[in-house]
Amino acid sequence: MHKDHIQLSVEQIPEMVFLPGDPERVDEISRYLSNVQHLGNNREYRTVSGEIDGTSVGVCSTGMGGPSTEIAVVELFEKGARRFIRIGTAGALQPHIEVGDLIIATGCIRESGTARSYVPDTYPAVANYEMVLALIQACEELKYPYHVGLGLSVDCFYATKPELFGDRIPSQISPMLSEYVKAGALQMEMEAATVMVLAQILGASAAAICTVGSNQITKEPSKSAPTNERAIQAACRGAQILSQWDRLRLEQGASNFYPILQKG
């Protein structure tokens, strides 16, 4: 690499990496890990490694939006990361989704520009099916309310909120939001599409699990600062499940995981 922005103190990191946006959330996630090692702290990128009952994971904050997320994913991939789980917050786009629920994205509508620098808009942002299944199983085991489906990734914050400015400023994305709601998008956030597209291009895998911090349709706000405790616990359990499935695949000589493998 010509430039090391995440500035890690090691040459190799775990294959599984959690990607929160906020550097402060790295500390939140670290509380669920053992043998935590601090590997880097530069700009928006704070990185640690640790273990979940013997399963090694890394954690690296990405900052907000696609450009800083691109830097993190590419440089982490160069250090050995092959699975990425974005852990973040999102605004719900369907009225039945409540604040505090979890959303597991199977893919993303791409209203973000970073991935466009690599591939055209017709190239999909899709989550890895094994990782989606593992997060679903984790939420079921933990009995957390969750939803599964498409997300919407955008490159802006205030342009999606026309109520703040009325018609005083232009917004290309605002008129599209109602169409995406009718098309079934569950959430809106800023990073998942970049993570998914880059993972596909690089030959890695990605998924995303987000905590609903507000509902953009009902205008239900978060009653307090949104906590990611449930999403973190689900991601940690998901990492354990994926590790178990990896062992099953190796034992049975399978290229991919599918449910019948669990029956031996």
Q: What confidence tens digit (pLDDT) does each residue in 33-86 have?
A: 999 999 999 999 999 999 999 999 999 999 999 999 999 999 999 999 999 999
Phi, psi dihedral angles at 164 (to 5 degrees): -75, -30
Is pLDDT of 224 > 70?
A: no
Q: Does domain 16-249 have CATH number 3.40.50.1580?
A: yes
Q: What confidence tens digit (pLDDT) does each residue in 115-132 have?
A: 999 999 999 999 999 999
Kindly report the pTM of this predicted structure.
0.96
Q: What confidence tens digit (pLDDT) does each residue in 54-66 have?
A: 999 999 999 999 9
Number of H helices, E strands in the chain: 6, 10
Cα 230 to Cα 227: distance, rounded to the nearest angstrom: 8
Cα 75 to Cα 7: distance, rounded to the nearest angstrom: 9
Would you give the DSSP letter of residue 185?
-
Is pLDDT of 225 > 70?
A: no
Residue 69 three-state SS? helix
* DSSP symbols for 117-165: GTS-TTS-EE--HHHHHHHHHHHHHHT--EEEEEEEEES-SGGG-GGGT
Q: What is the pLDDT of residue 262?
A: 85
Is pLDDT of 223 > 70?
A: no
Give me the mean pLDDT over the 141-155 stretch.
98
